[in-house]
Amino acid sequence: MESGDKPLTGAGLSLARGNEGSLVIHIAGNWERGQVLPNPEETLQAIESASPRALGFDASGLAGWDSNLLTFLIKIKEWCTTKNVECVDTDLPDGVRRLLALASAVPERKGARRESRRESFFVTVGGKAQQFVVSAGEVFDFLGEAFVSIIRFLGGRASFRRVDLLLFLQETGAQALPIVSLISMLVGLILAFVGAIQLKTFGAQIYVADLVGIAMVRVMGAIMTGIIVAGRTGAAYAAQLGTMQVNEEIDALKTLGVSPMEFLVLPRMVALALMMPLLCVYADVMGILGGLIVGVVMLDLNPVVYLNETKAALSLTNVWIGLFHSAVFGVIVALSGCLRGIQCGRSASAVGYATTSAVVTSIVSIIVATALITILCNVLGI
């Protein structure tokens, strides 16, 4: 068995005519991994050209063997069965014969083997279309169930663990503060920079405060937190639920009579819907701070003047619109994360796919929702 420290003597194989049109296969030498082994296809060709009536073996010169000899012999035996040639294996070593017997002890289950078939173009397209309808149905099912569970939650009848909710509140809210601070402050800085260069040419630097204030509060704060939370929390939700799917934990919940929707999805959804607006307000403040830094350092504005200008520019409507955005984003991120997690298949790569898909779904939905809300506000004149 110790391959490597044996001399490479190679495996010996020769064919000899036996009596009554039979062929004897002489097997000799070392048939182990790492040795030079005969090619089974060539051997079969040689046997075929001799067209024997029966096959026999002579293994008297066999020095060592492992599974490689077995795979070789299986090929020869298979050939014998297909060609209806008698195969006499009594002269093989006992161990070889017994292992070959064990390998065929459990016959192949009928219909188990799968063949890879090439599908025609139309079959593929049709299949994809059907899949699309099914998955759209799943999405609506999920949304419906989520809605029902929210109603039950509002009625105080939903069954989930309060501890879970508190934990999710902490994870999605407080623990996201550092990254939200960094990103939104930088976005405020960038907005101020871009604006400052233009406004400076008109001597209207002070309006940087209006620009940064309105942009951050009305939409940028919400979008930035939405995207951060999609990458941070939405992905985590999808991975958590996906792994639970792989471990059959979700099946276990179902058989316990606990609705996975209430037990797993609801607390996550509530946590995000509550925390997103708060994070958004925080991001707004951070963005304005970023703008203030540029205003003070680059444009030599007085901080008090800058803040007063911001205050004058912002109306409460802007704040409400921003908060509305963020609440919608919160629900979107929670729903896409949980949906992809629940839909997850049963393998490690399926979890990866669910996570990616959750983030993509959230971000696309966030941008589409922003466009819709913006158009709506425009039509309504707010």
Both tokens assigned to 146? 């989520």
Count each helix (H run) and each strand (E run) in the chain, helices first: 15, 4
203 contact partners, CB below 8 Å, separation of at least 6: none
Q: In this chain, which of 17, 53, 98, 200 binds other proteins, going by CB under 8 A?
A: 98
Query: Is position 300 an interface residue for other proteins (rule: CB under 8 A)?
Result: no
Cβ neighbours around 188 below 10 Å, total: 29
Query: Is position 109 an interface residue for other proteins (rule: CB under 8 A)?
Result: yes
For other proteins, give the closer residue by CB, 113 or 128.
Answer: 113
Q: In this chain, which of 103, 129, 166, 312 binds other proteins, going by CB under 8 A?
A: 103
In the three-class reduction of DSSP (H, G, I as helix; E, B as strand; rest coil), residue 347 is classed as: coil
For other proteins, give the closer residue by CB, 67 or 175.
Answer: 67
Query: Is position 117 an interface residue for other proteins (rule: CB under 8 A)?
Result: no
For other proteins, give the closer residue by CB, 90 or 201.
Answer: 90
Query: Is position 118 an interface residue for other proteins (rule: CB under 8 A)?
Result: no
Query: Is position 104 an interface residue for other proteins (rule: CB under 8 A)?
Result: yes
Query: Is position 106 an interface residue for other proteins (rule: CB under 8 A)?
Result: yes
Q: Can you tell me the distance from the alpha carbon of 114 to that of 118, in angstroms, rounded to the nearest whole number?
A: 13
The residue with tokens 């059959």 is 248
Q: In this chain, which of 20, 82, 90, 105 binds other proteins, going by CB under 8 A?
A: 105
Query: Is position 346 an interface residue for other proteins (rule: CB under 8 A)?
Result: yes
Query: Is position 38 an interface residue for other proteins (rule: CB under 8 A)?
Result: no
Q: In this chain, which of 186, 350, 360, 377 binds other proteins, going by CB under 8 A?
A: 350
Q: In this chain, which of 84, 108, 300, 379 binds other proteins, going by CB under 8 A?
A: 108
Q: Which amino acid is at 77?
A: K
How far, CA to CA in Å, does 4 sit from each of 7, 195, 364?
Answer: 8, 72, 57
| Selected range binding other proteins among 50-58, 81-89, 109-117, 314-322, rule: CB under 8 A | 109-117
In 3D, which of 345, 284, 347 has the Cα closest to residue 318?
284
CA atoms within 13 A on the CB side of 215: 21
How many residues interact with other proteins (rule CB under 8 A)? 39
In the three-class reduction of DSSP (H, G, I as helix; E, B as strand; rest coil), residue 18 is classed as: coil
Q: Are 275 and 344 in contact (CB under 8 A)?
A: no
The end-to-end CA distance of the chain, in Å, is 81
Q: Note the residues at the interface with other proteins (CB under 8 A).
A: 1-2, 33-34, 37, 40-41, 66-68, 70-71, 74-75, 93-96, 98-99, 102-109, 112-114, 116, 246, 345-350
